[in-house]
Chain A
């Protein structure tokens, strides 16, 4: 199985450690991973704003970079949702279909494909509040959203529970959106920041030292809100913890 690693543009620029942790983690499980050098973005910034035509060339470039891989893995739920469900500005050739059907978010890949049952190298002795990003939860099916009837499950929590020393805390509004929402964060800055502050407060109230998520974009927004008000909470991408980060 040849794996293409997609490191979304803002992770490339701001959170290289998330990309590194993802790559190393996959390699620990003996995956053969390539990083196509000409990759940029999945097209989400444009599509999120309704500008599909403007995303066409970016989408085409994405497909060109990744069509040769059996599986494409990315540490970002919202980008995976864009690729899988909304990469429609380009003509739907067999390559495009292949890419769309075989792009997986990291947690899904570890949980559903590799069926990982242990992270022997990982130890994280902290109280952690897990942030279900809306895209991973409701669009990719990481877990059961609180609105729906049915048996609760959570793939990311199932993985984190295998990390030694970790303590997962419950929050009051478990799957309330944190307010990032892509372009929403700049078109509706006040509502967005208020939602971010409310989210951080919920985690803080319930004793979390860290907020952990599979979406760096939510973490970027929340950490920006926390820094502005001086909230003492820390942020980590799930890949870093699973790869053995201790703090």
Chain B
């Protein structure tokens, strides 16, 4: 085929690096089209390849680390049980946490949803006359649209996590929950920093780029009025919380200014400090394949002369807790291992999911926020099950993806064409006669069969693949009739049952 011949232009030195793919966001009220965005991502082959390679490397390192721990599977089981237990008694543990945090001098607030979270934090900032905030990476704040909100009220937010800062400077959402700019190549960052920070556009050395960013951001950090962090874990027994980072930037955010606000999802609770041993051993090994994060910071009380607030955010979590098939997604500790192992995530990039959470985790969380908008996402999976096997808290991720498909179909979220095609397929396949007719009324099985055998528009199959050719001697059924029934007086009459 002509498409296979090497393209001479591709072998020449590229004058300019490949542009970073930027999938379009679905408009308000519209369904996210993962397949379309994935295609856009794959149309930038250098980025696609680099993404797959980098993310797969994390998965490989994870395997190495996990397999060096004899009791790995027992640890996962233990972590899963601790989370199950906590979620079953979440109200009690939350009350305990609140009481202990207050006793330590922390102000505790409750937010029912993202909007309330933003409002509460805004009020705290207004009281303190805050103009600039430094902030450690937090997926919960992404979920709440916090950065955009603060933008709209004129409070400046500066990300202290390098990856998240890159995304902020580029006006993009994180594409990975642990490595926010993992979809970018070094050349993209060099270009971005040249535009935003005035660094050398032709120097894409990682140290140089990190240095340029540090020099530009440090002054902003030093005179910030407030600091924000999320939390990886909140400990009921102490009223304290734990933040894990590789750059120590949570400590910066929490300690440089006198005011520290922490946004914590209510599912982050664990009962005892002792439980941390289990989760800390699992978290970084699962995430990046390193034995531990560089900084595991425990916060328990405001610093001397400072003030500390915690906002406990529900934002759909208690509703999810009541969903029989899907509540266990609340066990998630946001390690990202399921994304790293997911072959679809690796090929399509995190922004193609058009949602706060990408990858397998995103497929099961996002529909709880907006079933229609994210109704395509549970179909962006081959159901290969690898995500379930890597998940350190043993969430049955691929079974929940499968479960969501049924829920979405039953609630009318499937496109009409798909539903109609499958309903027709169900009718043909339930009738031996209809099934045989579908194959035999035409000389070429290909003309009719694929509609139901492959369930959908065949042109999609043909975009990157050839169809199988129909066998020379007919179907297995034909063969059986010719070879195994030839001596029998009466041949079965297929279709009798219909």
Contact = CB atoms under 8 A, between A and B. Distances in A.
A179 B385 contact: no
Most buried by A among B48, B52, B406, B418: B406
A50 B42 CA distance: 27
Interface in B414-437: 414, 418-419, 422-423, 425-427, 429-432, 435
A147 B464 contact: no
A100 B452 CA distance: 23
B47 to A, nearest CB: 13
A184 B379 contact: yes
A186 B455 CA distance: 8
Most buried by A among B476, B477, B495: B476
B57 to A, nearest CB: 12
Contact of B429 (A45, A186, A191): A45
Contacts of A236: none
Interface in A29-67: 35, 37-41, 43, 45-46, 48-58, 60-61, 64
Contacts of B379: 49, 183-184, 187-188
Interface stretch (A6-14, A115-123, A206-214): A6-14
Contacts of A43: 426, 429
B455 A49 contact: yes
Nearest to B427: A57
Interface string B462-498: 0111111011011111111000100000001011110
A138 interface: yes
Contact of A224 (B386, B432, B466): B466
Contacts of A204: none
B347 interface: yes
B479 A194 contact: no
Interface stretch (A16-24, A102-110, A162-170, A238-246): A16-24
B470 A14 contact: yes
Contact of A54 (B344, B423, B466): B423
Contact of A190 (B38, B73, B453): B38
A225 interface: yes
Contacts of A14: 445, 468, 470-471
A192 B455 contact: no
B1 A228 contact: yes
A209 to B, nearest CB: 20
Given A60-B430, A225-B464, A20 B476 contact: yes
A181 B381 contact: yes
Contacts of A49: 379, 405, 409, 414, 418, 422, 455
Contacts of A225: 464-465
Contacts of B210: none
Contacts of A40: 429-432, 435
A183 to B, nearest CB: 5
Contact of A230 (B4, B455, B492): B4
A16 B276 CA distance: 56
A60 to B, nearest CB: 7
A76 to B, nearest CB: 12
A54 B406 contact: no
A158 interface: no
Contact of A187 (B419, B456, B477): B456
B39 interface: yes
A30 B412 CA distance: 50
A233 interface: no
B495 A187 contact: no
Contact of A9 (B66, B453, B463): B453
Interface string A126-152: 000000001000110000011111100
A40 B458 CA distance: 21
A7 B476 contact: yes
A177 B454 contact: no
Given A45-B422, A52-B406, A181 B445 contact: no
B408 A50 contact: yes
Contact of B426 (A38, A57, A188): A57
B341 A54 contact: no
Contact of B497 (A10, A19, A64): A64
A145 B422 contact: no
A50 B408 CA distance: 7
B380 interface: yes
Contact of B439 (A13, A23, A35, A134): A13
Most buried by A among B39, B69, B341, B409: B409
A75 B114 CA distance: 50
Interface in B28-53: 34-35, 38-39, 42, 48, 52
A16 B477 CA distance: 8
B382 interface: yes
B464 A189 contact: yes
A227 interface: yes
B104 interface: no
A28 interface: no
A45 B425 contact: yes
Given A49-B418, A60-B430, A190-B42, 11 more contacts: A9-B429, A37-B432, A49-B422, A57-B427, A58-B430, A182-B383, A188-B34, A188-B35, A195-B382, A224-B461, A229-B1
8 contacts: A7-B476, A50-B405, A149-B69, A185-B461, A188-B34, A193-B463, A220-B468, A223-B468
Interface of A: 7, 9-17, 19-20, 23, 35, 37-41, 43, 45-46, 48-58, 60-61, 64, 86, 134, 138-139, 145-150, 173, 175-177, 179-198, 220-221, 223-225, 227-230
Closest 3 CB pairs of A and B: A193-B464, A181-B382, A50-B405
Interface of B: 1, 3-4, 34-35, 38-39, 42, 48, 52, 56, 63, 66-67, 69, 72-73, 341, 343-344, 347-348, 378-386, 388-390, 402, 404-410, 414, 418-419, 422-423, 425-427, 429-432, 435, 439, 445, 449, 452-458, 460-461, 463-468, 470-471, 473-480, 484, 492, 494-497
